Every structure is written in C-alpha cells, then in structure tokens.
Structure 1
Amino acid sequence: MLTLLRYISLKNNHLHVIMFALLSSALVGCSTTTKIQYLEPAEIDEVSLLKKIAVNDFKKDSVGLAGKIETKLSQKKFNNQPYFTVVSRQNLDLILSEQKRQYSGLTNEQNNVELGELIGAQAFISGKINSKSYADNRYTEERIRCVDEKCKKIQTYRVQCKKRNIQLSANIKIVNIETSKVVYTETYQQSSDWRACTDNGKTLPNPSNVWQNQANNIARQFVEKIS
C-alpha cells in the first residue's frame, strides 16, 4: 500500500512539472518585445536644458569644425524628432554683424537677452582651433630573409621606415545667452599615428584629410557629451 501511495505521489509531481513546463512555454511564446528608445543623461546638467542653440564662428577654423558641430546637432534625433533646435548660421551671422559683436558674442546681460530673443536661441556654442600639426620621424626596422633556397641560413637586415603623427586640438565652450554664464568649456585633442616602410608598399596619409576626420570626431564627441 505504501509503495502504491509513493508511486501516485511521484506521478502527480511529474504531471505538475509537465504542466509548469507547458505553461512556461506558452508564456514565452506569447511574450512581446517592446523597443524603448532613450538617451543617456547629458554629462553637464545645465547644458542639458539648453535645446535652442546657435553655433558661432570658430577662430582659426581651417578645418570647418563649427560647421561640423552644427551638422551633428541638426542630425541628432530622439524618437525620430530633432533633439536640438539649431539657429541658422546665416541669420546668426547677419544679426551679429549688425550688432558688431566681438568674438565672444556677448556684452552685457541685457543685450544677451535681447540677442537671444532676436535669434531664438538659448545658448551660443563658440570655440577655436588651438593647434593642428604633423611630424615625421624616420627610423629603421629589422627584417629576416633566407640566404639559400632551402632557408637553411637566414640573414637579418634593416629597412627604412617613417612614422607620421598628426594632431588637432580645439577648445569649445557654451554660453547661456540669458545669464551670460559659460556653462561648458573643454579642450578636445585628437592624435593619430601611421607607419610606412620601404618594403611594405604603404603610404602615409595627407595631413589635411586626417585633420578633417579628426574634426568630425571632435564634433561627434562634443554633441554626444551635451545630449
């Protein structure tokens, strides 16, 4: 009798396991996936509140960094909607020219509020290219080659090589138009190295092309940081 009861108990437990497995499978089969789009919070709290932005001309901007930043800001989307409202550079240049602004674009708080109302912006982005440079350094590398056909003997030799370092440095700042307060300022630096030797057929890149890529990287990093 005891053996029979144990058998019935084990059988019932087995049925419970099967029912639980079937229920779990049904729930999994009916589950839906919801895609939620979100943005990481901006690293600078005060900047995150400024969504209407004007990009001023940058000093010594031979790489077009100001334009690249303006483009990245305009392309920033959230839920398929523009994340920033970017004031037209053409309108900004016209107003600044008429107001005879200096590089900072700011004089006193009253004028800043007035200018902000005129151009419909809450903040100015301005900056300058601190430096762009490249340097070539020559050196040699060791190679190994076979002396005979069966390579029983080897020989070491050296080849001429060149290393090229290309750098770009820029400072970017954001000014709250209403308060005249600099709410963000940072220096961005890009540095890249390339090597080419006489036996590998490689060529070193044109510095101008690299500076353009580096400026794009700086613009991308900046917009990501304030978004």
Structure 2
Amino acid sequence: MVFKSFHSLVTMVALVLITTGCATTTDIRALQPAEVGAAASLKRVGVAPFDQQAKTNVSLDSKIEAELANYQLEQGVNYYNVVDRANLETIIKEQKFQLSGLTDKSQATKIGKLSGAQALVVGNVSSAGIEDNNYREDRVKYVNCDSKGKNCTRREYTVSCKSRTVNLGAQVKLTDVERGDFITANNYNQNKTWRTCEDNSSSLPSKSHGLEVLADEIATAFVFRLVPRYITFKVELYKKAEVKLEKLQADQFKAGIEFIKAGRMDRAEDFFALLMDATQARSFAVVYNYGVIKEAEGKFEEAKKLYETADKLTLSPEKNINLALVRINKIISDHKVALEQIGRQAKR
C-alpha cells in the first residue's frame, strides 16, 4: 500500500517514461513524506509479540521490529529507537496480559507506558494457508533436424506441473501511548503463487518458507507507511535547442547533455550556465535543461523559477515543461512536509 503523494508522483513519472521512448533522461531524487504523519513524533517504538490466531509460528512481529530498527534515511542514523523486545515480553508476563488482548488500545497503552515506548505496534496473525494444484502445460519440441538444423519434425507434448499458493492474513496496529489511540490499523491479506513443472529444476517452497516471504512483504508495507523516504525517477531532457546555436554553443549543449547522462551535474551546470548567458535565457530548451540540473541537485526552488521561465518562452504547450511545473510544485510541497516530520521532536 502506497500513500497518495507517492502514487501520484510515480504515475506522473510513468507517463513521462511511456511517452519518451529513447529520449535522453536523468535521475531525480526526491524526499517523500510518511503517509501516517502522526507517527513522526513517536520515535521510540516497541513491537509486542503478535497473537498467532492461525496456530502457526510466523515471525511477522520480529520482521516489523527489524524493519523499524534498521530503517535509515541517512546512512548511519536510525530513524527509530526500538524498545528492547525482552523487556516488553517481561512486562507482558508480569502484568499477566494475554496476547489476544493486546490489540485493545487500553492494554497496548499500559504496556507502552511501562516499557517507556511512545508508540507500540500490536497485532495478530489471523490466517495462514496453503493450496496445491496439479495441472499440465503444453510444450513444443523440434526433433530429427538435418545437418543444417532445418527440416525438423515438430513434436507436441504435455508435462505435469504443480502450483502452490500460500496466503497470510494479519492485523497490525500502531498505538500512540500518550494519547491512548490507534494511529493506524491495517488488515493484510497477502498471497503468492509458485509454480514448477517436471521439465525444470525449480522447486516449490515449504508452507513455512512461503509464509515468511509473505510476512516480509507485510512488514515492509506496514513500515513503509510510517516513514519518510527517498524515491528516484527519470526526467526527460531536450537533446537540442529549438533556436539556432553557433558551433561553440551547440558543442557546449551537447557536452552538457553528456555530463548530465554521466551524473556530473557540476560540469553540466558550467556548460548550461554559459549557454544561459550566450542565449540571454531565450531558449526554452536551454532554460529547461538548466532547471533539470537544479532539480537533480535538490535546488527545487531554483528549478521551479527556471521551469516557469522556460514556460513563458514557449509558443505552444511543451510536454516536458508542463510535466515539470506540476512535478516541481509537488516535490517542493512533499519535501517541506517530510522535513517537518523528520525534525519533529519526539513526545516526552
């Protein structure tokens, strides 16, 4: 499950990629806010043992704990401070709580306060199943070919195959310990199918392995909603200017593009800065490409001004510029929200 801002930005980028074909592109890195903004100030988090209602030993709780403990926006800096799991289990035993009752917010709040957590993840594994199906697939083989590999006989046959579908259902909640409210509660019904046939070497996973794969997916999806994150996407460049350039300027334009493709925005910026002066910023292709460089450098406000300038130079709507204007406004807005989430002081 992805949040709306991320989804809409990815959709917009996908439209660019569909329409650009072999166009010259560069990577842009942008910061996206967490979908669950209320979790931003709850940086000390605990994960209680999950109730295994499905009578299976799926380590979904441990996987969520690991995702939270290891999440980093910047290398070497953990986003969350995770409460010691052994301490939580001791508290649960001492208070004689039943795991089945932890999804009640009053109990979750009490455990969270005793452990020193600001937020507590609670949940249960509600279902776990496996279904096997046997079926056959058609095959075609060419035999008895001549010495040149031609005039072969076509042989059709079938092979035995087997599919295995594993499903996992779970409920996961995040409690604000101070307020005593559930910030978010999600029901997950995850399934995955594996297939194998007698003419290949692949094997089907055991039920336990399949469930652990699905638990990984659920853990990732749950934590994904709680944290700001960087995304990377491609943006199209203009490969040539719409105005006539002198040979030196045309060479500078080409060189700038090559440095952008190589990820050398420092050198690319030098060339396009020269072109901005040489053309008196009257080429929308030059101005737009310069804006892309600024966007790639994370200088979003400068990029926005350049895109707006490029737009004023066009005599008809330009796809690249239209998309850039929408995209940069969203990136600026999302970046501001994400920084606020990151910098928000943890509740005391």
> In structure 1, what is the equivalent of residue 171 of structure 2?
171
> In structure 1, what is the equivalent of residue 57 of structure 2?
62
> In structure 1, what is the equivalent of residue 242 of structure 2?
none
1:81 and 2:77 equivalent?
A: yes
Unaligned runs of 5+ in 1: 1-36
For the residues of structure 2 that align with 1:72 and 1:64, how far apart are their CA atoms? 12
- Specify which of 92, 96, 101 is matched with residue 100 of structure 1: 96
Pairs within 5 Å for 1:127-138: 127-138=123-134
Q: How many residues align?
A: 189
Q: TM-score, normalised by structure 1?
A: 0.73
For the residues of structure 2 that align with 1:121 and 1:39, how far apart are their CA atoms? 27
SS of the residue aligned with 1:130?
A: strand
Tell me if structure 1 keeps the 8 A contact 2:105–2:181: no
> In structure 2, what is the equivalent of residue 40 of structure 1?
32
One-letter identity of the residue aligned with 2:102: S
One-letter identity of the residue aligned with 1:218: I
- Against the structure 1 CA distance between its residues 57 and 39, is the aligned structure 2 distance closer, same or farther, given a 3 Å change threshold? farther
SS of the residue aligned with 1:69?
A: helix
Identical aligned pairs, as a percentage?
Answer: 33
One-letter identity of the residue aligned with 2:78: P
> In structure 1, what is the equivalent of residue 42 of structure 2?
50
- Against the structure 1 CA distance between its residues 208 and 183, is the aligned structure 2 distance closer, same or farther, given a 3 Å change threshold? same
> In structure 2, what is the equivalent of residue 124 of structure 1?
120
> In structure 2, what is the equivalent of residue 157 of structure 1?
157
Q: TM-score, normalised by structure 2?
A: 0.49
Tell me if structure 2 keeps the 8 A contact 1:96–1:105: no
* 83-92 or 208-217, larger mean C-alpha shift: 208-217
> In structure 2, what is the equivalent of residue 220 of structure 1?
220
- Specify which of 86, 90, 97 is matched with residue 90 of structure 1: 86
> In structure 2, what is the equivalent of residue 141 of structure 1?
137
Tell me if structure 2 keeps the 8 A contact 1:196–1:203: yes
- 1:142 Cα deviation from its structure 2 partner: 1.4
For the residues of structure 2 that align with 1:116 and 1:165, how far apart are their CA atoms? 37
Higher Rg of the two aligned structures = 1
One-letter identity of the residue aligned with 1:59: D
For the residues of structure 2 that align with 1:154 and 1:208, how far apart are their CA atoms? 42
- Against the structure 1 CA distance between its residues 157 and 118, is the aligned structure 2 distance closer, same or farther, given a 3 Å change threshold? closer
Pairs within 5 Å for 1:178-193: 178-193=178-193
Q: Which has the higher helix share?
A: 2
One-letter identity of the residue aligned with 2:87: N
- 1:74 Cα deviation from its structure 2 partner: 1.0
* 212-221 or 125-134, larger mean C-alpha shift: 212-221
For the residues of structure 1 that align with 2:159 and 2:166, how far apart are their CA atoms? 23
For the residues of structure 1 that align with 2:153 and 2:119, how far apart are their CA atoms? 71
For the residues of structure 1 that align with 2:51 and 2:212, how far apart are their CA atoms? 16
Q: Which has the higher strand share?
A: 1
For the residues of structure 2 that align with 1:91 and 1:216, how far apart are their CA atoms? 24
Tell me if structure 1 keeps the 8 A contact 2:138–2:157: yes
- 1:143 Cα deviation from its structure 2 partner: 1.8
Deviations, residues 143-197 of structure 1 (Å, cap 9, x unaligned)? 2234644454323222211111122222101111122211111122332222212
SS of the residue aligned with 2:114?
A: helix
- Against the structure 1 CA distance between its residues 165 and 70, is the aligned structure 2 distance closer, same or farther, given a 3 Å change threshold? same
One-letter identity of the residue aligned with 1:44: V
Tell me if structure 2 keeps the 8 A contact 1:164–1:193: yes
For the residues of structure 1 that align with 2:35 and 2:94, how far apart are their CA atoms? 35
For the residues of structure 1 that align with 2:35 and 2:203, how far apart are their CA atoms? 40
SS of the residue aligned with 2:200?
A: coil
One-letter identity of the residue aligned with 1:68: K
- Against the structure 1 CA distance between its residues 105 and 90, is the aligned structure 2 distance closer, same or farther, given a 3 Å change threshold? farther
SS of the residue aligned with 1:199?
A: coil
For the residues of structure 2 that align with 1:93 and 1:116, how far apart are their CA atoms? 12
